[in-house]
Structure 1
């Protein structure tokens, strides 16, 4: 039987080109991108990427915009938490950085 790829996975198509570090980064991104994700509408793990930042649930048919490689970006998660009232705007990291910067200037 033919030997299957072990470590390289999806980046086996690059063979020895582009360097190890870049191939590892591409592998991590593509594994996340091509995996099934949880649907925000029905809660099933059936969301697949259609094109850049366009995602669709295979079960309920919901189509929505998200990140380029993941349906919900980290910043999108923070915004959702602020809108739901779980955290206030004062608690966000950007606000803390601005306050620290103001104190150093004086």
Structure 2
């Protein structure tokens, strides 16, 4: 499941059931955790302790997030996707500066 910005913009949260909403949030959290884990592996340390704690909190709140009203759910997912995009962009910037 690729839930990029363009794919998400085409989704109406009111058409999703609770399980689908939970799966969307879980998928994004897994992607964020993978970014954190790759960075930790390449750097040998936990570069994002606050983010790791945030991801734990989001995992524990997945059901509550899925039950949020449509607008709130959409805003949460949009923010998580923005965080993912920012982290990916930052990693790309770091990679470019390493090779220059």
Normalising by structure 1, we get a TM-score of 0.30
Higher RCO, 1 vs 2 (CA within 8 Å, ≥6 residues apart): 2
Higher share of residues assigned helix: 2
Normalising by structure 2, we get a TM-score of 0.31
Larger Rg computed on CA atoms: 1
Higher share of residues assigned strand: 1
